[in-house]
Structure 1
Amino acid sequence: MSDRSHGLGRLITGFAWAVLLLGLWLWGRGITDLNLSSPTTGDAAAVGRPFAVRLPGAHPPVQAAKPQRIDIAALHIQAPVVARGLDGGGAIDPPPYEQAGVVGWYGSGARPGERGTALFVGHVDTESRPAVFYHLSEATSGDKVRVVRDDGSVAEFTVDDVQVFSRKTFDPDKVYGQHRAERAELRLITCGGTFDRTSRTYTANVVVSAYLTGVTGVNEAPKHAR
């Protein structure tokens, strides 16, 4: 259970999801290839890349398929995935709090495994208990993210960057743009920082970046994003 009391859950509907709107606006204008030579840095990194960790090479993008489930063994996350659109304010509409154990995927964006950046969002907690991405900030470089897709394949991604972006330092280019051109990447996003009692929102976003490193099953032929 979250250590917050007095009904301070259900906070993601404020800033945390509002910042997604700005990122999607820029992302939709074609800001997708950043060609960064190293992980980008927010105001306070949850982790850096451990010196001894050697990350695997990227797997070529594969044919697009919709995600059905996401598994992150290191964080004990096993959750179904549902496609989500934008809410009335233009931000990604996360799964309802009654489905706090479900991960939302931005269905109008890239599909996990194809070239581009697939976006996944999830609640960190509710009024009474931790939610699906409660432990997301504990991710470290080298962790595996497995996405079961509706064509029967499993796309495996490797975490290469974990950042915490405050309201002032949130950079949509870094969050939504590809870190390396021609890769299939994903972002896992939830609330972070501390709870602001005045605005009734969290003060930051946790952003986990990963890239495709393997595929099992069908439809493994490389294919560019739509």
Structure 2
Amino acid sequence: MAAQPASPPPTRAARARSPWSAPLAVLLVLVGVFATGAGLGRTVGPFDWADASTGATPRAAAPAPARAPASRPVSLSVPAIKVTAPITPVGQAKDGSVDVPPLSQHSQTGWYDRGAVPGEPGRAIIVGHVDTKSGPAVFYHLRELKPGDRIEVTRSDRSVVTFKVDTVEYFDKDNLPADRVYGDTGPPELRLITCGGEWLGGRTGYEDNVITFASLVGTRTP
């Protein structure tokens, strides 16, 4: 059995428990819009919320073309929580949700390549595992970020985009604020997303999403 970590997973209630303390715990990943098969809830996804805003019945959306910018993100640095991690592009899962990095690569993060590119207009999304059956993963300490903490994204052209944390918030997986998370217009922003809250088990995993909202500070070019 794996040793217990020094601190428990993020929680809104004292009754939360660490998933790797249970022999048959489900491997955890990310956000309410991601695949339930990866331990996540399925709520309003990036292709549903526009329908909801018009009162139309949500429908299956046609796959959007994946972006392939020359300056795609390749690595993430979050000094305040000692994270330095590679970034791999992730697209859309079969159920219309945002895909995730492989469960075997829990130290890797995933950039949603059908959304904004970090440093370009819109809200760029980077997702990461909170933990696995064997212990903490890349975004285990995401909840500890504070306003003003810096986040750096290095892109394939060697430019480095710096963001500052505005807030870190919890959302029930059934109430993800899609209008604050997604969007290809407006100023460059960043969203780091993982799971948190109470451990519910089953196909839900954790009760909540933990989302870091960050705004652009500047870009350094090589």
The normalised TM-score by structure 1 is 0.73
| Identity percentage of aligned residues | 39
- Taking structure 1 as reference, are residues 24 and 137 closer, same or farther at Cα in structure 2, changes over 3 Å only? same
Aligned pair partner of 1:195 in 192, 199, 208: 199
Query: 1:23, CA displacement in angstroms?
Result: 3.4
User: For 2:140 and 2:26, how far apart are their aligned partners in 1?
Assistant: 12
State yes or no: 1:93 paired with 2:117. Answer: no
Superposed CA RMSD: 2.3
Whose relative contact order is higher, 1 or 2, with alpha carbons under 8 Å and at least 6 apart? 1
Question: Which residue is 1:184 aligned to?
Answer: 188
The normalised TM-score by structure 2 is 0.74
User: For 2:77 and 2:147, how far apart are their aligned partners in 1?
Assistant: 16
C-alpha contact 1:79 1:103 (8 A) present in aligned 2: yes
Question: Which residue is 1:70 aligned to?
Answer: 76
User: For 2:112 and 2:173, how far apart are their aligned partners in 1?
Assistant: 22
Q: Aligned runs of 1:61-210 on 2, under 5 Å?
A: 65-177=71-183, 182-210=186-214
State the SS of the aligned residue for 2:92: coil
Gaps of 5+ in 2: 6-17, 30-34, 54-68
User: For 2:72 and 2:149, how far apart are their aligned partners in 1?
Assistant: 22
Question: Which residue is 1:43 aligned to?
Answer: none
Query: 1:64, CA displacement in angstroms?
Result: 7.4
Cα deviation, 1:158-185, whole Å, max 9, x if unaligned, reads 010111001343221123258xx74100
C-alpha contact 2:115 2:182 (8 A) present in aligned 1: no
State yes or no: 1:24 paired with 2:46. Answer: yes
How many residues are paired up? 182
